Each structure stands twice: as C-alpha cells, then as structure tokens.
Amino acid sequence: MLAGLQAALLSLLVVVLPAIAAYVATSAAPATTGIPWTRAVEVAAGLWLLGHGVPMTAAPSMTLVPLGLTALAVFGCYASARRSGYATRSAFGAGVGAYLGVVLVVGLATGVPLLHLGTGLLGGAVVAATGLGAGLLRRPEAPRFRDVVEPVRSRLPEPVAHGIAAGTTALATLVLLAAALATLWVVTGRSAVAEVVGSLRLDAVGGVVLAVGELAYAPTLVLWAFAWLAGPGFAVGTGTSFAVGGVQAGALPAVPLLGALPAPDVAGGVLVAVPVVTLLAGAAAALVLRRRLVTERALDAPVAGLVSAAAAGFGALVLAALSRGGIGPGRMTQLGPEPVLVALAVAGGVAVGALVVLLPGDRHVRAAVAGAARRVWSATAGRARRD
C-alpha cells in the first residue's frame, strides 16, 4: 500500500512543484493579479490526470496524453515497489488500490466529470499495475516472471505462446528504430526548434516550464515516428499529413518540438520504401521463432508467424491510440496517427517478413509442400495417361 501511495504522491509533486514555482516567479505580473496560487495547483493536477487519460477540466479539448508523465508515474511505481514493497498478491492489490485512491481524490478535488474520472481510474490501474508489478518482481523474495505467467502460458499451444513472444520482439524492434528516427529528427531540425524557442521570448522560469512540457511529450514524438516508419504517418491538425509518401503541413502552433517534424522535402522518392522495416522486424521475429519453437506439424510454423504478426499489430494499435488526441479547439483536435491503419501496416509487414524467413526453413512445411507437389503431379500425369 505504501509503495502505491508514495509513487502517486511523488509523481504528482513532480508536476505541482514547478507549477507553484512558476506562479511565485510571475506573481508580480499584472496578468496574474487576482489569480490564487491554488489555480496553479489545479492546472498541474489536471496535467497529472491527463497523463492517466483524463481530459483537462480547464481545457476540455486538451486530450493528447503526455506520455512522459505517464512513463514517470510508471517508473515511480516501479522504484517504490522495488525499494519498499512486499512481493505478495495482497501487497500488490493494496498498492494499486492506494494509487487509485490518489487518482480518485485528485479527480474529485479538481471537478473532473464522473465519466472522465472512470477513464482516469482505468488509466491509473494500468499505470500502477505495470509499475508496481515490475518493481515487486525485482524484490529478492519474488518469483521469476516466467513462473508468474506460466499458468497462463501453459494453457496456450506452443506456436501461439512463442508467436506472442516473437511479436513482442518485432514491436520492440520497431519502437527502437522509431526512437532513433525521432532523435534524428530533433538533431536535424534543431535550427527550427531554436527559432521557435527564440520567438517565445521566455524568461528562465518559462524556459524550465517549457522544457518540462517538451520532455512530457517526447515519447509522443517517438510514437509518431513509429507511425511514419510503418507507412500511414500522422497528422498535426485537421487537413495535415506527415508520411513517407508526402507531407501536407498546415500552420502549426508555436511548439518547439513540432519544429523537428519532417519538412515537405523529406518524403517521396526512396523514402517510400521505408516501411520495409516492418518486414525486417518480422524477420527478427522469425529468427526468434526458429531458435525457440520446436514444430511438430506443418501448420505450427505458419500459425506462429501469423500470431506474431497479430501480436505486433495489436501492440501497434495500442501505441498509436496512446499518441492520438488534441491540444486545442478547431484544427488542433486531430493530432497523431490513425491507429487502425498503423496496426494493419505493422501486422502485414511483420506477417510477410516472418513467413518468408520462417517457412522455407521448417522441415514439416517443406515436407508438406513436397507431398502436395507430388500429389498434384500424380493427378496431372494420371489424367494425361487417360487422355
């Protein structure tokens, strides 16, 4: 229980304290006259809840989740559980319950509607369960992760179980490539980013607040790069598109991170072939399967390959959905990729890559193909003799 409570409060303070510091630094400005310090706390608490999927009460059109804050909350749960948790089911449940208690109290205190509060509780449960579970499994007295999931895994056919693991490998490969691509975008677009920062004319406190905000959305940029690698790309406002086939960029808000997005000339040509990386990820999944899966029938290899594609596609669907939302009214309600298109592109590429590498090397598949070819040849030859 203590680990969940500690993690929730610490991640909340990471957002609230800079907001209070910014309020104090600007309290003498005429624009802040009559605004209480509790308003800064309320806005910061809204941002923390947004990291759990709750639209901001002060700005209902702000729905794009700051995944950096989400990751910070997960890490806080992990660190707290690893340091002071107990590796028991009751301790895990109590920790998740304590975390959800903080989410509930903060949501009620900031006037979050009940429907949105339910979304926040669901998001908080995922955050707490992921972080606390991972942290408790690192405790000395904890069982191995393999032993924890074995009751579920043992109920699955071997091709399905290994296919899910291989699909996770393919998805992780694509995310790592997307992180490298996003870093490249930031490096090559640093002049545009610096130009936007300069135009904002921020003081020291404003610069720190801006830096925190940019870091909060850095993982979102990685997932947009993921959608770009897969092919469908993403939008930054209604009527815009950033994809390997072309860029249609409208007027963008003065957000430094958006200065790193691909320019119109970074599209088309050889870049159209970029989605081939999904096939390479599928090939990586096939290598995992060839090393771990012991096939007994001709269907085992294709089933494992297709399951790996489905697992990677489902993961891509979740990641794309997490990076989609709005940051304002009008055009800015449509940001991010289309989750279904990204999922289909990833699943299709991984399926092709996995099956091309996996099937020719499987002896059962080769035997089945050879047997089918012999039967077709025998049937054809028999008809020819009768004729």
Query: pLDDT for 251-275, tens place per residue?
Result: 778 888 888 888 877 777 778 889 9
Tell me, what's the pLDDT at 270?
Answer: 78
217 φ/ψ angles, rounded to the nearest 5 degrees? -105, 5
118 pLDDT tier (thresholds 50, 70, 90) = very high
Q: Higher pLDDT residue, 313 or 292?
A: 313
Tell me, what's the pLDDT at 198?
Answer: 82
Angle at 137 between CA 136 and CA 138, to 5 degrees: 90
115 pLDDT tier (thresholds 50, 70, 90) = confident
Give the SS3 label for residue 249: coil
| Residue 242, beta-bridge partner list | 234, 247
Q: What is the mean pLDDT of residues 59-78?
A: 90
Tell me, what's the pLDDT at 134?
Answer: 93
Which alpha helices (H) appear in 26-88, and where do they start and end? 37-50, 67-84
Q: What is the mean pLDDT of residues 117-131?
A: 94
CA distances from 7 to 11, 85, 119, 123, 158 (A): 6, 11, 19, 15, 38
pLDDT digits (tens, 9 = 90+) for 293-327: 888 888 889 999 999 999 999 999 999 999 999 88
Q: What is the mean pLDDT of residues 182-195?
A: 88
| pTM to 2 decimal places | 0.90
179: left (phi over 0), alpha (psi -120 to 50) or beta: alpha
Residues 6 or more apart whose Cβ sits within 8 Å of residue 81? 3, 4, 7, 95, 131, 132, 133, 134, 135, 136, 138, 139
**% pLDDT > 70, the chain:** 96
Burial class (CB in 10 A: 0-12, 13-18, 19+), 75: middle
**Cα separation, 348 vs 33, whole angstroms:** 57
Indicate the pairing of strand 241-243 with strand 335-336. unpaired
Q: Which run of H or E residues covers position 119?
A: helix 114-136
Cα–chain center distance at 362: 33
Tell me, what's the pLDDT at 256?
Answer: 85
pLDDT at 32 over 70: no
Q: What is the mean pLDDT of residues 322-341?
A: 89
**Cα separation, 350 vs 281, whole angstroms:** 6
pLDDT at 24 over 90: no
30 pLDDT tier (thresholds 50, 70, 90) = low
